[in-house]
Amino acid sequence: MTDSAQRHILLVEDSRTQAARAQLVLRDAGYRVTIARDGEAAWQCISAEWFDIIVSDINMPGIDGYELCRRSKAEQRLRAIPFVLLTAQEDLEALVRGFEAGADDFITKPWMPSALQGRIAAVLQDPDRTGRGAKGASVERMTRLLLGRTVELEHAYRELGMHEAQLLTANEALAGERSALEVANKQLGAASLAKSEFLANMSHELRTPLNAILGFSDLLLNRPDGTYDRDSQVKFLTYVHGAGEHLLALINDILDLAKVEAGQMVLRPGPVDLADLIGEIMATVAPLAGDKGIDLVNRATAGELTADPGKLKQIVYNLLSNAIKFTPGGGRVEVRADWSALEVAISFSDTGVGMSADELGHLFQEFWQSERPTDEASRGTGLGLALTKKLVELHGGRVTVTSELGVGSTFTVRLPLRKSALELLKHPSDDAVGDKPLVLVAEDDKATATLLARWIRSAGYRVNLVRSGAEVLESARSLRPRFVTLDVLMPNTDGWSALTALKQDPETAGIPVIVVTIVDAPDIAAAKGADAYILKPVTRESILGALARFEPPPNAGDYQLGTPPS
Amino acid sequence: MTESEAPATILVVEDNPANLLLAEEILKLAGYRTIGASSAEQAQGSIEKQMPDLILLDIRMPGMDGLKFVRMLRSSPITARLPIIALTAQAMADEQAAGIAAGFDAYLVKPIQQALLLEAVGRALTHCA
């Protein structure tokens, strides 16, 4: 650079601040700088004056940097002026487009003053002013950029591959979840459909007897005296009565079913002499069979099993009365019991009307009724078999049927003989006598009793369980427990009277009684002399906390109390 | 229809004996003649012997149910326009829609409301006469 030939730079930049900054930097380096604010102004400058170099921004209103470059390179006179474009870092597209427009070099924005000065000096000192060298440098830079971009792209591609694999896995997981949701949805749909069907059936089954009850009573009440003679009146009332009984049976069956469904049907297992039980039910249904001239045969061999006697009676009654209902007069109904090491199979065989395969499929469905009862009057609720099946299953057993149209049917109930399953449902056994202090737990709900016993034992006590108010009094007198926990809703004597009796008897009055109940009536409990009161559901903390208020637990180290109850 | 000369004959089809007697009783007290049938099959035999002026038909019955029976009656030119009223314990809206679609002229739900039953019977007899 010589003084006499101060190099003249045309700086094309629409941003005033950028332009001012570049002007300062370039003047510092000894250049003369003319600024054009846009492509139009720049073109006028170029046409009017000679510049040693043009440095131009790309994005400008009107004629942009590429266009300005293209125009200046298209004129013979201007071709030789090096044209430098200001591009954004790594803007490959700008490089390519600028190169196409004929740019000699590129300066990336944002620039450092030294970079701007250096680049311009390099371009100006290039011996070949047509820009070959600069172009060569640009190509090299572009190649470098492209290579870098290729590496980046390969990297990105690999990452995409990995993402794709992850997406595939996620997609599979989603598909799995989706099908699980679909299954659940289908099940919900089926459950909802079953519920609607149940409601529709129940409505039908309730309306049928109500029709007779309301209709006949209406006729008898609202017709003038003398409309019906006594025989008609008796006939109407007999129908009303029958419909009422049918309704009652229906309601009982529905409640039983609902109890099983809700898991509230509790078995009270005990030893059962099966042949005795079958004989008892046979005596009950004998008149039904007798009326139709059906031969009832008991071939059950003696044996004992553990079952809830009441529920087992219901099972046997339902199947026996069913067999009689579907057996024509003069037929035969036979009950057998076949014992094996694991189970007893109780079978009920009849010479009745039998069932088709289709009917067998609906047999245990709620409200489904066979169309072939041998007498209309004995039409049932349609719930008997559904309930029977549930009661058998509650005992861990199952019901099977074989049938042939016109020949007869055999229902077989298989009940397990292993006692363990049923014994789990029994009251946890009382602790043997020992030196630990005794707590008498009066509770008829097995689950609650089991939990109470476990928690109280963990605090170092012995536990004895009783199930009724009467037993509480007796046990409290004979065992003299340290504490009594008392459920106030129990069979026989109710808990409140048991509490009163305990507190009135001088022998037991001093034993602290903790009322454990779902009845929210602490004032009654206190009035009757309860020493503490816990509302169910009971927790380990609440029961042990209550005991701890009277004495430190025998092994306090074994458990941690939460916040002591106030 | 010769209302002034002879009472209309109504065929009541109902499998429950109490409810059959009740419906017949109500209709008789209103001056109609009734024929009872305890199944669709029995009703068919009755129609062949004597064409009723109207049929009061239960839906849920052993054997052929009321829906099937009404469809069958509608497909025969002889009974296509015969007034047929459903009297059923099936009270759900979709059940009622199915009944009307099957061809019942009216759909009554048990327990019977006597006034409604007689009104429906009267209307069906006049309209289809």
Indicate the average pLDDT of chain B. Answer: 92
SS3 A222: helix
Q: Tell me how many helices (H) and strands (E) chain A has.
A: 18, 17
Q: Which two tokens mark A241?
A: 């009565």
Is the distance from CB of A383 to CB of A337 less than 8 angstroms?
no
- This prediction has a pTM of 0.50
SS3 B126: helix
For residue A521, what pLDDT is reported? Answer: 77
Q: Which two tokens mark A385?
A: 């078999």
CA A527 to chain centre: 45
Where b means 16+ CB within 10 Å and e means fewer, A155-164 reads eeeeeeeeee
SS3 B76: coil
C-alpha dist (Å) from residue A511 to A44, A268, A357, A550, B74: 114, 30, 65, 11, 82
Tell me if B92 and A205 make a contact (CB, 8 A cut-off): no
Tokens 């598909």 -> residue: A175
Q: How many angstroms separate the CA atoms of A516 and A465, rounded?
A: 14
Span B84-91, average pLDDT: 94
At residue B103, does pLDDT exceed 90?
A: yes
Q: How many angstroms separate the CA atoms of A350 and A68, rounded?
A: 108
Q: Is A131 left (phi over 0), alpha (psi -120 to 50) or beta?
A: left
Closest CA to A445 of A392, A485, A404: A485
Chain A partners of B60 at a C-beta cutoff of 8 Å?
A: 204
If you measure CA to CA, which chain B residue comes closest to A369? B62
Residues B10-48 have pLDDT tens digits of 999 999 999 999 999 999 999 999 999 999 999 999 999
Q: Which two tokens mark A146?
A: 């492209």
Is the distance from CB of A88 to CB of A108 less than 8 angstroms?
yes
> Does residue B21 sit at the A interface (CB-CB below 8 Å)?
yes
Contacts of A557 (CB under 8 A, 6+ apart): none
Q: How many angstroms separate the CA atoms of A213 and B22, rounded?
A: 10
Q: Is A354 left (phi over 0), alpha (psi -120 to 50) or beta?
A: left
For residue A235, what pLDDT is reported? Answer: 93
Q: Which two tokens mark B22?
A: 């009740």
Tell me if B22 and A219 make a contact (CB, 8 A cut-off): yes
Tell me if B62 and A205 make a contact (CB, 8 A cut-off): no
How far B22 CA sits from the closest chain A CA (Å)? 7
> Going along A406-452, which residue ranges are E strands?
408-416, 438-442
Residue B61 carries which DSSP code? -
Suggest the residue from B87, B92, B108 to mutate for an interface test with chain A (most A CBs closer than 10 A): B92
Backbone angles phi, psi at A165, to 5 degrees: -60, -45
Q: SS3 helix, strand, coil % of chain B, rounded to 5?
A: 45, 20, 35
Closest CA to A108 of A74, A136, A84: A84
If you measure CA to CA, which chain A residue comes closest to B94? A200
CA dihedral over A239, A240, A242, A247, signed as positive or negative: positive
If you measure CA to CA, which chain A residue comes closest to B112? A211
If you measure CA to CA, which chain A residue comes closest to B15? A376
Q: How many angstroms separate the CA atoms of A245 and A484, rounded?
A: 44
Please spell the DSSP secondary structure of A368-389, one letter per residue: ---S--S-GGG---S-HHHHHH
Mean pLDDT by 10 residues, chain A (566 residues): 71 90 91 92 89 91 90 85 84 81 85 87 71 57 72 81 84 85 82 81 90 93 88 92 89 86 81 91 88 90 89 92 89 92 91 84 79 59 87 90 90 81 47 75 83 86 85 85 86 76 87 85 82 84 87 63 40
Tell me if A211 and B111 make a contact (CB, 8 A cut-off): yes
- Lowest-pLDDT range of B22-31, B45-54, B120-129: B120-129
Strand partners, A533: A515
Is the distance from CB of B125 to CB of A225 less than 8 angstroms?
no
For residue A277, what pLDDT is reported? Answer: 92
For residue A122, what pLDDT is reported? Answer: 85
SS3 A505: coil
Suggest the residue from A192, A204, A245 to mutate for an interface test with chain B (most B CBs closer than 10 A): A204
Among partner residues A218, A239, A376, which is closest to B114 by beta-carbon distance? A218
Q: Which two tokens mark A492?
A: 């026989």
Is the distance from CB of A378 to CB of A355 less than 8 angstroms?
no
Q: How many angstroms separate the CA atoms of A306 and A272, rounded?
A: 6
**Helices B17-29 & A230-261 angle (0-180, nearest 10):** 140
Please spell the DSSP secondary structure of A266-315, one letter per residue: ----EEEEHHHHHHHHHHHHHHHHHHHTPEEEEEEPP-EEEE-HHHHHHH
If you measure CA to CA, which chain A residue comes closest to B38? A376
C-alpha dist (Å) from residue A450 to A442, A445, A466: 11, 9, 12
Between positions 57 and 86 of B, the ones with CB within 8 A of A are: 60, 62-63
Tell me if A243 and B92 make a contact (CB, 8 A cut-off): no
For residue B106, what pLDDT is reported? Answer: 95
How far A248 CA sits from the closest chain B CA (Å)? 17
Tell me if A204 and B109 make a contact (CB, 8 A cut-off): no
Is the distance from CB of A502 to CB of A472 less than 8 angstroms?
yes
Chain B partners of A325 at a C-beta cutoff of 8 Å?
A: none
Among partner residues A207, A223, A376, which is closest to B89 by beta-carbon distance? A207
CA angle, B18 then B24 then B28, to 5°? 145
